[in-house]
Amino acid sequence: MSARRGRSAAGPGTRGVSDPWKVAFVALLVVALVCVVTWILLGSRLLVVRDVAVTGVQRVPAEEVVAAVDVATGTPLIRVDLERSAEGAESLTLVESATVRRGWPATLEVEVVERQPVLAVRAGQEYRLVDGDGVRIEDSPRRPDAHPLVRVTGEVEGNPAVRAAADIAEQAPDSLVSRIHLIEAADPESITLELTDGSQVAWGTSEGTADKSAVLEVLMDEHPPREGRVYDVSLPDLAIVR
């Protein structure tokens, strides 16, 4: 009886002595794992930038994007400042936006959205294709059929009138955009569209383009376009034809 009591008394005491060693072992194991992972991410040559993969480019050379991202080969992927790298790519004139991601184990992925032409501006004997911010995309010796001509006052790049005209070209249905010869936007509060059939549209501001387009379609069905005809949709609820 006393022997059994002795063994019972010794059992819990023995477990109590061994538990701290188990805790210490687990703690050391966790620390070792953290150190190994940290070394792999920051100090080893396993997870470093070996390639910069650029997608989404047509007009911008991929080499220019790689140079603008400015991440040296051999840089640990975990240390790459993705936001700063994206800002570097976006500093290129024809890049509208860029997204930079880590492509484990050894690739830095750069996804580029290039600026696209929306409007054409007369430039001497040529035509300059610009995006909604007025940024020059390319030049053409001929007026492009796919992009309406715009006329504004002052500098083209950064001009709010260009932005207003681009909003119309981007939001109006293709059936209307294909008929626009000129967007007269010298006054962005009083924009006028000159159509290829000789009629004009008093558009007002670029706001409410969807509603104005729908009203204009009805007016043109009821009063077919002809030379000199004017559709006034600047106030869609009070649209008139004259």
The CATH number of the domain holding residue 104 is: 3.10.20.310
Q: How remote is the C-alpha of 115 from its chain's centroid? A: 9
The CATH number of the domain holding residue 197 is: 3.40.50.10960
Opening angle at CA 211, ends 205 and 212, nearest 5: 50
Whole-number pLDDT of residue 22: 72
Query: 128 and 92 in one domain?
Result: no
Query: 58 and 31 in one domain?
Result: no
Give the residue, 237 or 45, on which the prediction is more confident: 237
Whole-number pLDDT of residue 36: 47
Q: Which of 92, 114, 136 is the last residue of a domain?
A: 114
* 35-93 confidence digits (pLDDT tens): 445 545 455 556 899 999 999 999 999 999 999 999 999 999 999 999 999 999 999 99
* 115-125 confidence digits (pLDDT tens): 999 999 999 99
Whole-number pLDDT of residue 10: 46
Report the length, in residues, of the chain.
242
Query: 99 and 9 in one domain?
Result: no
């104005």: which residue's tokens?
Answer: 212
Q: How far apart are CA 87 and CA 122, in angstroms?
A: 32
Q: Which domain holds residue 135?
A: 119-241
- Which pTM value belongs to this model? 0.77
10 Å CB burial of residue 175 (0-12, 13-18, 19+) is: exposed
Q: How many domains does the chain have?
A: 3
